[in-house]
Amino acid sequence: MRTWVIALVSPIERAELIDELLRSFDPPEDSRVADAWKAEAESRIDAYEAGRLSADSAEAMFARINTR
């Protein structure tokens, strides 16, 4: 694409094009998997808010990772 043609495209449209190009490297998303992860995340949030699930601080999590 020539520079003068690119100048005719708005910054928003260029950003959208870049986003589409980057997404083209990823495999197609399986909506069943995405839906399952969404349900799992919502379940964990609900459990945390109800007090059935505890959480560690970021510092504790990184300390645990760094000891491996």
Please write the tens of the pLDDT for every residue from 5-28: 777 888 999 999 999 999 889 887
Domain residue limits at 61: 3-66
**Encoded amino acid at 57, one letter:** S
pLDDT value for 18: 93
The DSSP symbol for 14 reads H
Residue 62 pLDDT greater than 90, yes or no:
yes
pLDDT value for 2: 64
pLDDT value for 48: 94
Please answer whether residues 44 and 53 qualify as being in contact, where contact means their C-beta atoms are separated by less than 8 angstroms: yes
Residue 66 pLDDT greater than 70, yes or no:
yes
> What total number of domains does the chain contain?
1
15 sits in the region (left: phi over 0; alpha: psi -120 to 50; else beta) called alpha
